[in-house]
Structure 1
Amino acid sequence: MKTIRLITVLMVLGALYSCKERTGHRPTEPSMKKKIVVYQVFTRLFGNTKTINKPWGTLEENGVGKFADFTDEALKEIKDLGITHIWYTGVPHHALINDYTAYGISNDDPDVVKGRAGSPYAVKDYYNVNPDLATDPSNRLEEFKALIQRTHDAEMKVIIDIVPNHVARNYEGKTNPKGVGDFGANDDTSKEYDINNNFYYIPGEAFKVPEWQDGYLPLGGDKSVLADFKFEENPAKWTGNGSRLAQPHFNDWYETVKINYGVRPDGTKDFEELPDDFGGKDHQAHVEFWKDKILPDSWYKFKDIALYWLDFGVDGFRFDMAEMIPVEFWSYLNSTIKMKNPDAFLLAEVYNPDLYRDYIHKGKMDYLYDKVDLYDSIKHIMKGYGWTDHIPVVQQKVADIEHHMLHFLENHDEQRIASPEFVGDAKLAKPAMVVSATISTSPTMIYFGQEVGEPGAEDAGFGKPSRTSIFDYIGVPHHQGWMNNKKFDGGQLSEEEKSLRDFYKHLLNFTIQSDALMGKYQDIHFYNKERTEGYDHRVLSYVRWSENEKLIIVTNFDAGKNYAFELKLPEDVIAQWQLKDGGYLLQDKLFGDFNTTLSVGNGQGKIQVELQPLQSYILGFVK
């Protein structure tokens, strides 16, 4: 009974949405004239050709990729996939288990490092890069700068991570620019909180490593002088996820410490809040608002970090766990960034939908993850128990901010599509990928290896199967098949993997060339569900259009069922498209191997559609 009620509610909401949007929803003003497609690549894994994949293997045993592995040929192939921006994940120097003391870098303690290769979100030095990634660690900054130049030469933009909520527990800025102080260097550690302390403290208590659970031991139990269940930190600091215990829990972010942004332990703020109407003001107004304010020291430190990397040649940032930091800080930081580079790409990880609009409008974020609504809904549909009825409803929820909601089906935090824990077959993502890439004006993101069906099956040590480990030295087998010993030609891929990559290439290249995908959107799903025989909740349809291009998109999420029906276009769509009675030839823009006819009569459109399992059509008019 509850299921019937839920379906009814969704259909009513969808019908209301369809009526409301029949004039077409005009999105927030896009920052680009065409779609953005982001390729997230885990930098240390991309070029690794070793295939041993020993759990807890060392760098020498399991291998590591380098900046130099992103050759001109590799970048050309990424670009040709339909990519506009590369997010090089894990570039800033983070804590890791490898001996670089010969280069003036201190060793890290395995008791506060996850895995051997370490978490990219436990940054140890914000003014340098991971020495693992360099052919010559003493030249690592120059090698990264050369990669930025190669990426720009390949006509793509560069994004890197900034993690303002926390830093490595053993943060040590060895390469700060002149005049830049280290995090915590001037803190009054006798106080739990002070506005200009960079960290929060637990006075009178020393840090204790967590009690290890589920058979876990640092380095997998390998003997190490530093893996002694101790780490010197007195007084203890708050842990990155907010734990105030001197001995954090095993599931806390124990390898990191939380940054203080002027929020007192009781949650009140030690800085002026933005007026309610500031969401509508431009970057200049935000910069002016903060200009004469006395701000917490951490605000200045992260501003300096962001500006340093912009000067270095980086084109934008992905901000980790942005919602854990007050929106006023983002107003200050992002407006400063935009005044320096108006085209900087700013992407944030925010999972609370109630905060979306504040972080976009007041916090001046360009894009947020569309995980909680769209990704989660599509995942349920792919797994077989979700209904496509939900997609128009979640689109309505973000109709006013749809351009800012970045879409993805994989990233480093999520399960690989091809893993048994998700759906176990990368082909099941085809309809989902079409919808994710074409339903709004927002950017699309894919994760390296997704395009060849990487299942993330390795037991890497700290990282377990279903997600390609971000903590361990490991090879990525299906991606290595495409890499083909650094020929980057797909020479070791199966025919099925080649076909999958070809699908992604066709889809992504179409999206970055389409005018309509930066234009208007209207749901026709509920219209057809009410009127069309043979059309049900495993199918989805909608239209997209601009002045120069009109598209009808229809997709079949079912892996075992063919669909044949007469898709209908409502009268208001026909009127807005100014179509007269008659026949119009349509062609599938995805592969170009299917033609059909739109018949218009009495103000309504009809299209005969036959969909094979997991098939999608992006139908456009033949001129």
Structure 2
Amino acid sequence: MNPPDWSRHAIWWQVYPLGFVGAEQAVTDQPSAAHRLLDLVPWLDYVIGLGASGLALGPVFRSETHGYDTTDYFGVDPRLGTLEDFDTLVAEAHRRGLRILLDGVFNHVGRSFAPFQDVLRTGPASVSAPWFDLEWPEDVLEGDEPTYRDFEGHHHLVALNHGEPEVADFVVEVMQYWLERGADGWRLDAAYAVPSAFWADVTARVRASHPDAYFVGEYIHGDYAAEVGAGGLDSATQYELWKAVWSSLNDANFFELAAALERHNALLASFAPLTFVGNHDVTRIASKLQDPALVAHAVVLLLTLGGTPSIYYGDEQGYRGVKEDRVGGDDDVRPIFPASPADLSPVGAPLLALHQDLIGVRRRHSWLHRATTEVVHLTNEVLVYRVTAAPSDTTPEGPDHLLVALNVSAQEQAVDAAGEGTILAGQAGLGDGRVVLPPQAWAVLA
């Protein structure tokens, strides 16, 4: 795998556009406000100020409801605006040096997707029938509907037949269309539900015309490295690390995180995972953690470990939100945002500053993208790890490295500074070769 060079420096600010702009719950050709996609433009300088280098957009294509039930892959959802609005957003982002990552839902479609509607109208003879996995009644009558494979029991999400060559041709066409309009890459929704051979075929064909494109697959469990390699992808979502971060902080059990870091190292030997502590599908980190004081520790982990970090809009401001397993259960974690950064509450300023400081550290040590981790001190409540540059990033003077120390206990902790003599970030002190961490404190040393 040979990911594009620009991805080595990528830090994403992920936005769920339909929620961000306060769009209607269901598609309408007469939304209450027009050109809402342009509401993101005033936030692009905020993204730069945060230190991120790209905007990772949730679904922007026409859909029935939440964006993941796509019905027109070549049109912008009218609740968001027009193709011209998309072009303006991309142009403004690129003018600032920001990349654009699109969210492609290619495992399933909404029932209003034109080829599926043709199946419902025409029956088994529909030219689109091979696009889906269908079973018809033995004696088909006009108006009969087939049973079909859906996505994880959601009847309104019709699964595509990825063994059908026309489906692959269609996905290639969609990807190329939006890359030619200025997108820089694709997040592949529910990539785990699609055969790797399908991704390998599609990405190879798209790269032939867009060699600088970036592809990250959504994988929740399984052999990430094997899936990335077999699918010709550049990255995969690192859900295992996400779980270990919040779980170990809640339980004061850094042994769980240490085990996850070993797995993370193994992945980094193959690719740079997409790392996160929040996204559009999970409870926000500020709500997931039982102790608000430990949100900073989660951010430290995100921004000092190897991988490609993604920051979910609002997490950098301390937004709260709980995902619930019900209809509308995602709404709380996909909120409307203010009209401009000036309208943000000052309550979030300290956490924003923390993100900026740590992103600054990461920018000055870009080798963290593929850095591996060595645990040098481990108890339930104290973790010290060294992050070291990959061999490909090693200089003649030797590999670069940083030391990160985390204390979640209610007591001051003093641990070996492992030869490091400068505190780059955090609240610790140094003396007699030891780093002194106040209660629930952390530090990054060099």
TM category (shorter chain) comes to 0.7 to 0.9
Q: Is the 8 A contact 2:61 2:67 kept in 1?
A: yes
Q: 1:339 maps to what in 2?
A: 208
Asked if residue 369 in structure 1 is aligned to residue 270 in structure 2, the reply is no
Tell me which amino acid in the other structure corresponds to 1:391.
L
Aligned residue among 141, 146, 162 for 1:236:
146
Offset of 1:503 from its aligned partner? 0.5
Once the two structures are superposed, what CA deviation does each residue of 1:284-316 show, in whole Å capped at 9, x if it has no partner?
xxxxxxxxxxx6221111111111111111111
Question: Normalization by structure 1: what TM-score?
Answer: 0.62
SS of the residue corresponding to residue 125 of structure 1 reads strand
Tell whether 2:17 aligns with 1:43: yes
* 1:295-334 equivalent positions in 2, closer than 5 A: 296-334=165-203
* Residue 555 of structure 1 pairs with residue 405 of structure 2: yes
* AA of the residue aligned to 2:385: S
Q: Distance in 2 between matches of 1:433 and 1:590?
A: 12
Do the aligned partners of residues 447 and 510 (structure 1) sit closer, same or farther apart at CA in structure 2, a change above 3 Å counting?
same
What are the residue-to-residue correspondences of 1:161-560 with 2, within 5 Å? 161-172=103-114, 182=115, 185=118, 189-190=123-124, 197-204=130-137, 234-241=144-151, 252-262=153-163, 296-354=165-223, 356-371=224-239, 373-385=240-252, 387-402=253-268, 403-419=271-287, 422-424=288-290, 426-440=292-306, 442-456=307-321, 462-464=327-329, 467-469=332-334, 475-476=335-336, 480=337, 483=338, 486-489=339-342, 491-494=344-347, 497-518=348-369, 520-525=371-376, 528-529=377-378, 536-545=380-389, 546-547=394-395, 550-558=400-408, 560=410
Kindly state the Cα deviation for residue 31 of structure 1 after the two structures are TM-superposed.
4.3
Q: Secondary structure at the match of 2:251?
A: coil
Shift of 1:154: 1.6
Mapped to 2, the partners of 1:325 and 1:159 lie a distance apart of 20
Report the equivalent of 1:78.
Answer: 47
Give how far 1:612 is off. 2.5
Asked if structure 1 preserves the Cα contact closer than 8 Å seen for 2:237 and 2:275, the reply is yes
Give the Cα–Cα distance (whole angstroms) in 1 for the partners of residues 401 and 412 of structure 2: 22
- Report the secondary structure of 1:331's partner residue: helix
1:445 alignment partner AA: S
Question: 2: CA distance between counterparts of 1:460 and 1:61?
Answer: 28
Alignment gaps of 5+ in structure 1 = 1-26, 96-117, 135-139, 173-181, 207-231, 243-251, 263-294, 470-474, 530-534, 570-583, 600-606
1:253 maps to a residue whose letter is H
Paired position in structure 2 for 1:619: 445
Alignment deviations for residues 293-352 of structure 1 (CA, whole Å, 9 cap, x no partner): xx6221111111111111111111111111211111111111122222222121111123
Q: CA deviation at 1:77?
A: 0.9
1:114 corresponds to = none
Q: Deviations over 1:150-171 (max 9, x none)?
A: 1111211111111111000111
1:69 maps to 39
Given residue 168 of structure 2, which amino acid in structure 1 is its aligned partner? W
Deviation at 1:557, TM superposition (A): 4.8
- Give the conservation status (yes or no) of the 8 Å contact 2:429–2:435: no
**Greater fraction of residues in strand:** 2
Equivalent pairs counted in the alignment come to: 435
Secondary structure class of the residue paired with 2:154: coil
Displacement of 1:198: 0.4
Aligned to 1:115: none
Output the aligned Cα RMSD.
Answer: 3.7
Q: Which has the larger Rg?
A: 1
Q: What secondary structure sits across from 1:589 in the alignment? A: strand
CA contact (8 A) 1:47 1:65 kept: no
- Tell me if structure 1 keeps the 8 A contact 2:186–2:214: yes
Three-state SS of the structure 2 residue aligned to 1:74 is helix
**2:103 and 2:295 mapped to 1: Cα distance?**
27
- Residues 305 and 543 of structure 1: is their aligned pair in 2 closer, same or farther, counting only changes over 3 Å? closer
Letter in 2 for 1:514: H
Contact in 2 for aligned 1:316/1:344 (Cα 8 Å) = yes
Cα deviation code 1:343-373 (max 9, x no counterpart): 212111112323x2332112111110110x2
Structure 2 gaps, min length 5: none
SS in structure 1 at match of 2:265: coil
Q: In the alignment, residue 79 of structure 1 is paired with which amino acid? A: I
Shift of 1:68: 1.3
SS at match of 1:444: strand
8 Å contact kept, 1:45–1:64:
no
- Change over 3 Å in CA distance of 1:300–1:67 after alignment to 2: same
In 1, the alpha carbon distance for the partners of 2:210 and 2:88 equals 21
Percent of aligned positions with the same letter in both sequences? 20
Is 2:47 the counterpart of 1:90?
Answer: no
